[in-house]
């Protein structure tokens, strides 16, 4: 909080002014939470004048970040504000202001209450006017249109669109004839297969072939053998991707065959998982002779705000293949 903001907030905090001491009080804002009453008294004594009391109010059982200093004379209080406003205490610029009197506080509180009540009354009147308008619209909607009077046709009368019936002698008798019952629909045979199934030459639906499963990749584990062309790189910034990792070594005059940043699953703010860098990766150099040179150049290099670590990677071997080899050796004996 700046000194100007703390000074503006003095009006809201004025209600916390202690009432047990007499004198003229000065509000000290933007105060460090670790500041003590002795430190505030020593700081305010630089302006001179007789200090009656120093009070640091508490909020939620901890210092509120401001204090009130009572001077015996009004002139001393104003002099302290002029000299010490904006000065630093504990690496913070303090905001000083002469506290308002209790009469001024009461007037401001009364004005605030009146303003709040006026705003509340305006909202209620606006809401009532909107409710009346909605009620009138609903009443107008309830009024239904008058129904059109209908007249039954007398015997012997015919519509204008039935000249052929009168000419054939059918007349009203034709209108009285019962309508024929609709024909019963034949149930359709159930489908023999899905739409995307292909039928054979005799109309038979071919069975869908099961999906072929991809062979599972064997699990890998580290061995004690060192790789001849691969480098393990750690402490990478999370913004570094495969291309950036390759560029780190390319800029060091190292010919890179492949670069891979290891990624893992993380969860965002909404709990949705997403793929992100785990901060390390592997670089495979084209020339094994450059492996040691690449480790020496990359070790301790500054990438972003991090010093990366580089060392020769260890070889990986499939666990299942090792178990199969051991089983074959056991059967040979």
Per-residue pLDDT of 83-93, as tens digits, reads: 999 999 988 99
pLDDT band at 55 (very low <50, low <70, confident <90, very high): very high
Report the percentage of the chain scoring pLDDT > 90.
34
pLDDT band at 213 (very low <50, low <70, confident <90, very high): confident
Per-residue pLDDT of 243-280, as tens digits, reads: 999 999 999 899 999 999 999 888 877 788 888 898 99
pLDDT band at 130 (very low <50, low <70, confident <90, very high): confident
**Homologous superfamily assigned to 220-320:** RRM (RNA recognition motif) domain (3.30.70.330)
Check residue 179 and give its pLDDT.
66
Check residue 56 and give its pLDDT.
92
Check residue 172 and give its pLDDT.
46
Pick the CATH number of 3-104 from 3.40.50.1950, 1.20.1250.20, 3.40.50.12780, 3.30.70.330: 3.30.70.330
CA 229 vs CA 61, 223, 247, 290: distances in Å? 62, 15, 17, 8
pLDDT at 12 over 90: no
Report the percentage of the chain scoring pLDDT > 70.
65
pLDDT at 14 over 50: no
Handedness of CA 217, 222, 225, 229 (dihedral sign): positive
Per-residue pLDDT of 152-205, as tens digits, reads: 666 655 555 444 444 444 444 544 556 677 777 777 666 555 555 455 555 555
Say which residue, 63 or 109, is predicted with more confidence: 63
Q: Is-same-fold flag (3-104; 220-320)?
A: yes
Check residue 315 and give its pLDDT.
82
pLDDT at 294 over 60: yes
Check residue 200 and give its pLDDT.
54
Mean pLDDT of 132-136: 73
Check residue 332 and give its pLDDT.
45
Check residue 255 and give its pLDDT.
93
Q: 267 has which bridge partners?
A: 273
Check residue 104 and give its pLDDT.
73
Check residue 319 and give its pLDDT.
60
Nearest 5°: the CA angle 115, 121, 126 is 130
Question: Which residue ranges make up each domain of the chain?
Answer: 3-104, 220-320
Mean pLDDT of 123-141: 77
Say which residue, 309 or 180, is predicted with more confidence: 309
Highest mean pLDDT among 96-110, 136-150, 303-317: 303-317
Report field, pTM of the whole predicted structure over 0.85: no
pLDDT at 5 over 60: no
28 close to 40: Cβ distance less than 8 angstroms: yes
């Amino acid at each position: 909080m700046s000194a100007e903001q703390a000074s503006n907030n003095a009006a809201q905090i004025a209600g916390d002014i202690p009432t047990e001491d007499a004198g003229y009080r000065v509000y000290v804002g933007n105060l460090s939470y670790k500041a003590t009453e002795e430190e505030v008294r020593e700081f305010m004594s630089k302006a001179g004048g007789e200090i009656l009391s120093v009070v640091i109010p508490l909020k939620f059982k901890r210092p509120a970040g401001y204090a009130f200093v009572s001077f015996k004379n009004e002139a001393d209080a104003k002099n302290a504000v002029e000299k010490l406003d904006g000065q630093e205490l504990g690496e913070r610029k303090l905001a000083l202001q002469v506290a308002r009197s209790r009469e001024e506080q009461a007037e401001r509180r009364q004005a605030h209450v009146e303003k709040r009540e006026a705003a509340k009354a305006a909202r209620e009147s606006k809401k009532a006017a909107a409710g009346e308008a909605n009620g009138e619209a609903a009443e107008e909607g309830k009024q239904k249109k008058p129904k059109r009077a209908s007249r039954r046709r007398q015997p012997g009368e015919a519509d204008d669109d039935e000249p052929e019936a009168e000419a054939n002698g059918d007349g009203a008798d034709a209108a009285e004839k019962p309508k024929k019952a609709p024909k019963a629909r034949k149930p359709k045979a159930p489908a023999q297969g899905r739409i995307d199934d292909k039928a054979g030459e005799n109309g038979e639906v071919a069975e869908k072939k099961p999906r072929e499963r991809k062979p599972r990749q064997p699990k890998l584990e580290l061995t004690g053998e060192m790789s001849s062309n691969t480098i393990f790189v750690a402490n990478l910034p999370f913004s570094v991707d495969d291309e950036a990792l390759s560029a780190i070594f390319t800029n060091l005059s190292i010919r890179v065959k492949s670069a891979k940043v290891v990624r893992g699953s993380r969860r965002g703010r909404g709990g949705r998982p997403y793929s992100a860098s785990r901060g390390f990766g592997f670089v495979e150099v084209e020339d094994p002779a450059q492996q040691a040179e690449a480790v020496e150049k990359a070790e301790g290099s500054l990438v972003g705000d991090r010093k990366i670590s580089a060392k020769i990677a260890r070889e990986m071997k499939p666990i299942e293949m090792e178990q199969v080899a051991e089983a074959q050796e056991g059967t040979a004996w």
